[in-house]
Each structure stands twice: as C-alpha cells, then as structure tokens.
Amino acid sequence: MKFNTPQTLKQIATLLNVEFVGSEDFPITGINEIHVVESGDIVFVDHPKYYDKALNSAATVILINKKIECPEGKALLISEDPFRDFNKITKYFNPFIAATASISESAQIGEDTIIQPNVFIGNNVTIGKNCLIHPNVSIYDNCSIGENVTIHANTVLGSDAFYYKNRAEGFDKLISGGGVVIENNVDLGASCTIDRGVTGDTTIKEGTKIDNQVHIGHDTVIGKKCLIAAQTGIAGCTVLEDEVTLWGQVGVISGITIEKGTVVMAQTGVTKTLKKNIYYGTPPVEYRQKLRETIYLKNITNNQKK
C-alpha cells in the first residue's frame, strides 16, 4: 500500500508515538507485507524467528519490537506492538469510508457495461468496457476490473483477508488495505469470494475462467488462462502461473507456487509447490503413479479375499 504523499521517519514515529533509529527525514513511501515489500516500504516483524528475514528484505524501514543494530541504508521504528501499530498506519492512510449509495459516485464504469439490479459497487472502483455484472454482486472499495469481464450472481470482490494474531483475549485482526485486480476477459462464476490484499492486490490475470463457489485468499496471484473448477479454495499469498487447471474441490495452502501448465485433479490437497505435471491426492503425487498405487492395493485386497 503506497501513501498518497511520501512521509518521513519522524512523521510516522510521531503518528505511532514510538522511538525511531535513523535520520528523521528518512523517506517512507508505503507499507507492505514481507512477501511484497519494496524499497521505501515499512514492514513489521514481532517475532525473533523472523527478524533476519525482515531486516534483509527489500523494505527500508522495519517496524520491530526490539532495539537492535540497524542495517546500513535502513531505519527502524521501535514498537511495543508492531502488529497493532501496522494496523494503525493502515487505518490512518486508508480509512474505511461508509457507502452512501449502491453504486458509488467515485466508481468509473466503462462503455457498454451492464450492471444488473441489486449490485453494490464501492468507492474508487473501476470497471472496463463490455462487462456484465449479474444481480447481487458486491464489489468493495478499490477494486479494478478490466474489459469483457463477466461476474455472476452473489460473487463478492474485496472482502477482508483471513489474517489474525492470537492474543490472550482473543484473535486480533490484521486490517486489509489492499485491493483486487481482475484483468480483461475473465469470467467469475456465481457465489465466488475473492479477498483483497492485506497491503497489495489479489490479482486474476487475463483470460482466466473461474467456476461457481470458488474462494481465493488475500494477495494470491492467478495467472493468464487458468481454469478453476467449483468449490476450490486457494489460500493467501499463493501464485498460480499461467494455464494452470484446478479441478473441483481442490484445496491449496498459502505461500506456494504452482508452475505453468500444471493440472490438479479433483479433491487434491496441494501442500507444496508443484512443478508442471498432472497431480492427484493429498499430499499430491503424479497422477499416473497414484493410479498404479491404487491398482496395486486393489489387487492385494482381491488376492487376500481369495
């Protein structure tokens, strides 16, 4: 998430009421999670296990809960609770704005796009030409939709990330400040749910077709010309490269990559990064190998019955 105008280290430290290490005019351009940070970003870290990863990331400001030696060319914000203060930054620079109409005045809708009754379109949404948005679709703030996109009834774009910190008093939610990007020629089935990014965008690239009742988690990137069948669930921060096919009821864990051209058969649980092949089962194995194992076990069972 980029700020509308660059901030200084002192300005952010003052906002959070925390100590800082570095030049007070050190420039800050935004905040991001560790997997999408860029130069100029703040990243937060609150566990020693991940200190090195954060300090050595592309982020140039680290919001951290311990005063340590600052890497050259970077700055620190010393916080008692980095998770809480990261949320404070998100709310300050990207506050929730309540809707005042079913279709926001700030929404931009392209020529020849059809919006069916009972559609909700939030603030700062852009929709391209020749789209068809069916009844009861909800498109939250800051979503971007390309041209020739079809979205079927009851689909939701831009719901919050499923991201919580377990505290003694209960689960504390990490506030989502990102968006959803749907590129040209994408079809979304009925009752799909696509979460927005925590700080970046959840992206579905050109030509991908998604069946009914599919869930896509925060900050996931779906490549070009993918096919995703009904009741598939994809966790956050996952990458599907181009031309990946996921058949019905596939489950995909977070933070992995599925290589271009891979096919995952129905009811497979994807628990690891996959190279191009055809997979089945949990954990996933090469499809023909799985068939051979099944036949072998069947033969053993039949022989024991004789």
- Asked whether residue 291 carries a pLDDT value surpassing 90, the answer given is no
pLDDT in tens, 55-86: 999 999 999 999 999 999 999 999 999 999 99
Active site residue 218: yes
pLDDT, greater one: 161 or 35: 161
* C-alpha–C-alpha distance, residues 31 and 42, integer Å: 4
Q: What is the mean pLDDT of the chain?
A: 95
Please choose, from the candidates 176, 139, 132, 143, the residue with its C-alpha nearest in 3D space to the C-alpha of residue 154.
139
Assign 3-state DSSP to the chain and report helix, strand, coil percentages, each to 5: 15, 30, 50
pLDDT in tens, 132-165: 999 999 999 999 999 999 999 999 999 999 999 9
Domains of the chain: 2-93 (3.40.1390.10), 108-288 (2.160.10.10)
* pLDDT for 306: 60
Please choose, from the candidates 144, 238, 133, the residue with its C-alpha nearest in 3D space to the C-alpha of residue 192.
133
| Annotated catalytic residue within 134, 152, 215, 218 | 218
Crossing angle of helices 9-16 and 82-93, rounded to 10°: 110
